[in-house]
Amino acid sequence: MADFDFSEPDILGEDLRMIRGQLRRFVNDVIVPNGEAWEKAGEFPREVFRELGRLGFLGMRHSVEYGGAGLGQLSSVVLGEELARSTFGGVAAGLTVHSDMSIAHIAHRGTDAQKRRYLPLACTGEKVGAICVTETQAGSDVAGLKTRALRDGDGWLINGSKTFITNGVNADIYIVAARTDPQAKGSRGISLFIVEKGNPGLKIARKFDKHGWRSSDTAELFFDDLHLPADGLLGEEGKGFYYIMSTFQNERLVAAALSTGACAKAIELTADYMRQRQAFGKTLWDQPVVRNKLSWLASKTAAARAFTYSCAQMAEEGKDVVREVSMLKAFACETLQEVVHGCLQLHGGTGFITGTPIERMARDARILTIGGGATEVMLEEVAKRL
């Protein structure tokens, strides 16, 4: 089966084209042969982080000074697309949460000492990151956080809980959002902290059994009088909401890349299946109404992909992309739902069998309209800026 690819955007230089090729080989050689076993285990091995780190793909966005490659948002898009083509969304999620959604906070806001302590090991995959924002009563509504961090001598004391945390069991470095000013309303008074595994105040309450992303570990965490020294604070006190919103733009861009990569793979798998499957004396591909349906799904994927690369380029140019990325997160992730479920329909009964790639992709796709900002929240962000 030949790979199905859209034309490579002109804005990608030779380096990123080469990175795409290396990532595709990694996906085909490492993730695809082992993904089903990892689905059953409910997690993938730490060695996968280290292998990807050795190739230099976990620190592409981080400064060269701290072990990264100093690349921009386009590298995150290439990474997301290629990992999504594995058809194992949990692996793609765990790796991109580490590379683009958790450790990125240290890269952007950490002191030099914090960067030197954490970034080199994160870039090599020796240390794994998780971002801890979501709570039982606060997901897309970040301003509703209840976890508190209060002054404790020269340090901090954190109490509260977080839920649906990707890499929650196996992470070494947790970026935790907590309210440092109990009197402040809404988005004010939230700060970020760095919590390391092994802190006696950190409790991993349970590992979730999920509908999709089954090869990623997702946990509920509790903070019970968790003590941190003064340098556990990340960035400025009270600026956490701003930091989270800023990094959300990259997280949503990566979600779009995961969506377009998965769409392209679903179309590839379905076109191959249709050329082999016989019905009414001819292949499905020879039925115009059927192949036209796939053509329509490919057209919508191409539109979502072009928008993704446009937003990435705008972000690299330093433009304000909150409105555009909010549009993109909604459009690309909803397009993914249409594409994978449309492709499952074209697979017929085969698509409904557990363990087939298209069935797995349909399960994994569902979370992308929820995580990182639900579609309804994204559209409201757009409406505020119309």
pLDDT at position 2 is 55
- Paired with 226 in beta bridges are 158
Residue with tokens 């995580």: 371
pLDDT at position 279 is 85
Beta carbons within 10 angstroms of residue 198's beta carbon: 7
**Which domains can be identified in the chain, with CATH numbers?**
14-128 (1.10.540.10), 130-238 (2.40.110.10), 242-384 (1.20.140.10)
Residue 197 identity (one-letter amino acid): K
List active site positions: 251
211: nearest Cα among 48, 375, 368? 368
Contact 222, 161 (CB under 8 A): yes
How far apart (Å, rounded) are the C-alpha atoms in residues 24 and 5?
A: 12
How far apart (Å, rounded) are the C-alpha atoms in residues 75 and 80?
A: 9
How far apart (Å, rounded) are the C-alpha atoms in residues 33 and 216?
A: 16
> Which secondary structure element, helix H or strand E, spans residue 309, and what is its range?
helix 288-316
Q: Is 135 helix (H, G, I), strand (E, B) or coil?
A: strand
CA atoms within 13 A on the CB side of 139: 14
Say which residues have a Cβ less than 8 Å from residue 37's Cβ, sequence separation at least 6. none
pTM: 0.94
How far apart (Å, rounded) are the C-alpha atoms in residues 223 and 233?
A: 15
Contact 284, 135 (CB under 8 A): no
372: nearest Cα among 318, 348, 336, 320? 336
Contact 211, 91 (CB under 8 A): no
Structure tokens of 223?
């903070």
pLDDT in tens, the chain (386 residues): 556 777 788 889 899 999 999 999 999 999 999 999 999 999 999 999 999 999 999 999 999 999 999 999 999 999 999 999 999 999 999 999 999 999 999 999 999 999 999 999 999 999 999 999 999 877 666 777 899 999 999 999 999 999 999 999 999 999 999 999 988 877 789 999 999 999 999 999 989 999 999 999 999 999 999 999 999 999 999 999 999 988 889 999 999 999 999 999 999 999 999 999 988 889 999 999 999 999 999 999 999 999 999 999 999 999 999 999 999 999 999 999 999 999 999 999 999 999 899 999 999 999 999 998 999 999 999 999 99
Angle in degrees, CA 218, 248, 62, rounded to 5? 90
Give burial (CB, 10 Å; 0-12/13-18/19+) of 46: middle
Beta carbons within 10 angstroms of residue 316's beta carbon: 15
Among positive and negative, which fits the CA dihedral 248, 229, 172, 158?
negative
Give burial (CB, 10 Å; 0-12/13-18/19+) of 289: exposed
How far apart (Å, rounded) are the C-alpha atoms in residues 325 and 341?
A: 24
